[in-house]
A = this chain, B = another copy of it.
């Protein structure tokens, strides 16, 4: 039986109040091979894809446009989308958006692309 000592609930709003930088996902939990992350987005990210990782975006606050090569997906609060591995995408938030991400621990935020937006070492909050 695993110890339950390490189990702590996570308030999304409380965690989101702890940071204000954009495009820098913070780890708020881990399960199986994945991390649960929170991120604040504003502006346009970079086109990228993840070779071997599917990625979930759930909008907590605001709205998020995810541009694909052949169409756009507009997410509002309480909406999620899963971007399968290999699919190029470009997240855009015209106003600040708060987003929960779920993805394998191996996932780099900019996927196959290295840019000034790349965050190699994520903070845990």
Q: Could you list which residues of chain A lie within 8 angstroms of chain B, going by C-beta atoms?
A: 1-4, 6-13, 29-34, 36, 49, 53-56, 60, 68-71, 73-76, 78-88, 102-104
Contacts and interface: CB of A to CB of B under 8 A. Distances in A.
What number of copies of this chain does the assembly contain? 2
Given A31-B55, A36-B56, A9 B87 contact: no
Contact of A87 (B7, B74, B82, B87): B7
Contacts of A86: 1-2
Nearest to A53: B32
Contacts of A8: 81
A30 B8 CA distance: 25
Contacts of A84: 2, 4, 6-7, 31
B32 A81 contact: no
Contacts of A9: 73-75, 79-81
A101 to B, nearest CB: 11
A34 B36 contact: no
Nearest to A70: B4
